[in-house]
Structure 1
Amino acid sequence: MLSHHHPDKLNALADRLLSAEVTTDRLPVVMGFDAFVDESIRIVGQRHSPESYQPMPTIADFGSWANAATGQSGLREFVCEQVTAGGCTVNMGDGIATLGFPLTAFSGVGEPPHPVFADFIAKCKTVHSLGMDPGRAIVTEFDDGKLMFCSFSHFANFTPAYLREQIADGVFRTACEQASGIALTSWSVYPYMTECWKFLVEEVLAGMSHRPHFFFDLADPASRTADALVEMLDALMGFESIGRVTLSVNGNEANQIARALKIDEAGSDAKSWERLANEIRTRAEISETSIHLIDSATTATTETVTTVSGPYCIKPKRSVGAGDRFNAGFFSGLLLGLNPADRLRLGNASSGYFVRRAESASWSQLIQFLREWAADAIVS
């Protein structure tokens, strides 16, 4: 069922969050394992002076220019607008930590850590690099989306044997035993992550009695085979025996899973996304699958399927990391025991705040954003 923004429900959620704020420090979170150094660039469309230029506005414009260079060559200037900490663990973790949850991150920020991660590390309870350097991402921003060109071939070293060696001191297991939630992100960029998940289930996390929330994010799996996607879904089942599993994907990732499973892709209507979310959840035999789009989000649990519209932003200040902030808000709702529709609202609000401000929301900022959303007072 599609739920529009319902001012009364947004205000009720804001009221609920006011009381929840004092409990976040008692809900520790563990996250792993990726980190990226993101260089955000704009392609110059027209240079007016040494100080000013008009960026190439859309991905289609870029595509037309690149296509016209076929059989010849092409040259374009790009401007690096900022260098930021990136990667799903870092971006989602920044959202989680900014909301006040004690975060222990096992994230490849480098040894010593790359300076770009200083703010993230300061927000966390602890960050363990697991001896891994960050990946690198050239993030090409356009008005209608982004193209990301990533370098992470060294992530192939992240195998079960490597992970066993890095967590042999027991710190990871202890952190997980104390955690209310455990989020494992960016499956797509690690060739052996499915095997690592199986190792965690069978040798590291087995025997935990408190049944934490498990949360999984894939990052775009376009470069992975259909067989690898199916094996990944099968591996999620193992975590369900230890805790409650949620898989969170965007629309593009959901349809890639649909093709791998040979089931119908979703289209433009909410019903098709609800069907797909539920089919993926059922096939994976897990507690929940959520799908977030730019203007709405859907989640399917064993009891219900719900869609909530979001505070759409036509021209984001920053779009890279928006899905990760949705995940931070949604996961916060899981940890606080919110109902599915309110989890989606919290995810949409967290993402909506981020794309407008280019930073994660604090608890008070998120509550204020919900109030403004309820009053139709946010800029789209």
Structure 2
Amino acid sequence: MDLKQLRRAVADDLAQLPTAAFEGLPTVMGFDGFVDNIIDVVDTRSARDAYSPLATIADFGARITRAAGHSANFELVVKQTKIGGNGPIMANALAALGHAVSYIGILGEGQLDPAFQPLAERAAAVYSLGNPASTDALEFRDGKLMFGKLEPLEQVSVENLRSVVGEDRLLQLFSAANCVATVNWTMLLSMNEIWDYLMAEILPRLTSSQRPRWFVDLADPAKRSREDLRQALQTLGKLQAHADIILGLNEAETRQVLEVCGSSWEGLSEDLGMAETSCRYLREHLGLSRVVCHMVKGAAGASKDESAGVEGFFEPHPKITTGAGDHFNAGYLWAIAAGQCERSALLIGTATSGHYVRTTHSPTKEDLITLLSAS
């Protein structure tokens, strides 16, 4: 089958998918939380309510370079203030697709920040460890620049998990979980400690014989040391003894993990064949259940039994890009949990992000069927 036929076949499968395959699946996620400001950098302003934004990062960079030795003033227009953080965005997307999500993160002190209200309304439960961090995301046609205020992330700790959620409740949540996702390892400096705590105190006490599917997103580890990354990957290998670990990467992250594992990306950017080969190598080298790599125009993944690479739903003029990867991750995990094969899961993941960048909204199953059928 060609790509259109494959997409329509997946749409037909989704239309016949029983509700029990996805509706209400218990899912535990954590642990970050951001308020995202989506921003244009003004190039020229023609009126109080009319302006042209700088089109590319290169244009912005050139303006900054010309200001060296002088000074410059940039006007920023906040187009949207929204739910942010890898965890809340992915959790919101999974909840929109029917999972019963229990989210643990930094969502507000005393009461939830309004940005997280959509998640609170969709989720089965939310547990806040403190006030959220924030990100100013400057968006351009060729990418985005994200400026984060990260001090609140220090509230994410084993101590706060124990005091806010409690070990008894953690045990209940993880015992019931069909899926788990722990994301944004790069910014959460306590993530390794949290994984170790869960392996020592919670996971050995689970009453269920079910192994949860456990999604991990490193979230751009370039600013962490190679030794930190190496230790995290070793910890994931240990975590595999308790759950089926799915390591989610983008192309840049795949290149970084390959380097730490003694290999390299031997090909051009967006090379689906190289992405699939890399996923197979990393899955076997790290001893994980699955490795998946999403790129701008496609995605690839590998399990013990199969691997695949697919073209995605590339949108040259997206309405939003911040959170696209988190939506891919949500769609992919949702599909795997629903029993889809690797190729179908990749198509569903790319459709989830494709719908999001076109509409700014997290899709329902019916939205996925519409996009897959129309392609």
Taking structure 1 as the reference length, what is the TM-score of the superposition?
0.93
- What displacement does 1:51 show? 1.5
State which of 49, 52, 62 in structure 1 corresponds to 2:50. Answer: 52
Residue by residue over 1:125-175, the C-alpha shift from the partner in whole angstroms, topping out at 9 and shown as x without a partner, is 11111x221110000010111110111123234333343333324212211
Distance (Å, rounded) in 2 between the aligned partners of 1:115 and 1:290:
33
Q: Which residue of 1 aligns with 2:259?
A: 259
Q: Aligned in 2, Cα 1:150/1:267: closer, same or farther, shift over 3 Å?
A: farther
Please provide the CA RMSD for this pair.
1.6
Q: Which structure 2 segments of 5+ residues have no match?
A: none
- What displacement does 1:21 show? 5.0
Q: Which residue of 1 aligns with 2:15?
A: 18
Partner amino acid, structure 2, of 1:371: S
Q: Which residue of 2 aligns with 1:121?
A: 120
* In the alignment, structure 1 residue 336 sits paired with structure 2 residue 341: no
Instruction: Give SS of 2:36's match.
Output: strand
Q: Is the 8 A contact 1:21 1:363 kept in 2?
A: no
Q: Which residue of 2 aligns with 1:149?
A: 147
Distance (Å, rounded) in 2 between the aligned partners of 1:332 and 1:147:
29
Larger mean CA deviation between 166-175 and 189-198 belongs to 166-175
How is 1:1-380 mapped onto 2 (pairs within 5 angstroms)? 6-20=3-17, 22-23=19-20, 24-111=22-109, 112-129=111-128, 131-208=129-206, 209-268=209-268, 269-373=271-375
Distance (Å, rounded) in 2 between the aligned partners of 1:249 and 1:270:
14
- What displacement does 1:49 show? 1.5
Instruction: Give SS of 2:214's match.
Output: strand
Q: Aligned in 2, Cα 1:5/1:39: closer, same or farther, shift over 3 Å?
A: farther
- What displacement does 1:55 show? 0.1
- What displacement does 1:97 show? 0.6
Instruction: Give SS of 1:196's match.
Output: helix
Larger mean CA deviation between 53-62 and 268-277 belongs to 268-277
Instruction: Give SS of 1:290's match.
Output: strand
Taking structure 2 as the reference length, what is the TM-score of the superposition?
0.94
Q: Aligned in 2, Cα 1:5/1:103: closer, same or farther, shift over 3 Å?
A: farther
Q: Is the 8 A contact 1:255 1:266 kept in 2?
A: no
The count of residues paired between Structure 1 and Structure 2 equals: 369
Instruction: Give SS of 2:161's match.
Output: helix
Distance (Å, rounded) in 2 between the aligned partners of 1:260 and 1:156:
27
Q: Aligned in 2, Cα 1:158/1:77: closer, same or farther, shift over 3 Å?
A: same
Q: Is the 8 A contact 1:298 1:307 kept in 2?
A: yes
Q: Aligned in 2, Cα 1:5/1:88: closer, same or farther, shift over 3 Å?
A: farther
Q: Aligned in 2, Cα 1:183/1:194: closer, same or farther, shift over 3 Å?
A: same
- What displacement does 1:270 show? 2.2
Partner amino acid, structure 2, of 1:158: V
Residue by residue over 1:59-98, the C-alpha shift from the partner in whole angstroms, topping out at 9 and shown as x without a partner, is 1111111112222222111111111011111111111111
Q: Is the 8 A contact 2:106 2:155 kept in 1?
A: no
Instruction: Give SS of 2:274's match.
Output: helix
Distance (Å, rounded) in 2 between the aligned partners of 1:233 and 1:307:
23
- What displacement does 1:231 show? 0.7
Distance (Å, rounded) in 2 between the aligned partners of 1:133 and 1:314:
35
Q: Is the 8 A contact 1:198 1:238 kept in 2?
A: no
Larger mean CA deviation between 102-111 and 141-150 belongs to 102-111
Larger mean CA deviation between 18-27 and 294-303 belongs to 18-27
Larger mean CA deviation between 113-122 and 68-77 belongs to 68-77
Q: Which residue of 2 aligns with 1:377?
A: none
Distance (Å, rounded) in 1 between the aligned partners of 2:210 and 2:280:
26
Distance (Å, rounded) in 1 between the aligned partners of 2:239 and 2:64:
44
Q: Is the 8 A contact 1:5 1:308 kept in 2?
A: no
- What displacement does 1:5 show? 5.8
Instruction: Give SS of 1:352's match.
Output: helix
| Off by >6 Å, runs of 4+ in structure 1 | none
Q: Aligned in 2, Cα 1:157/1:360: closer, same or farther, shift over 3 Å?
A: closer
- What displacement does 1:200 show? 0.9
Q: Aligned in 2, Cα 1:34/1:285: closer, same or farther, shift over 3 Å?
A: same
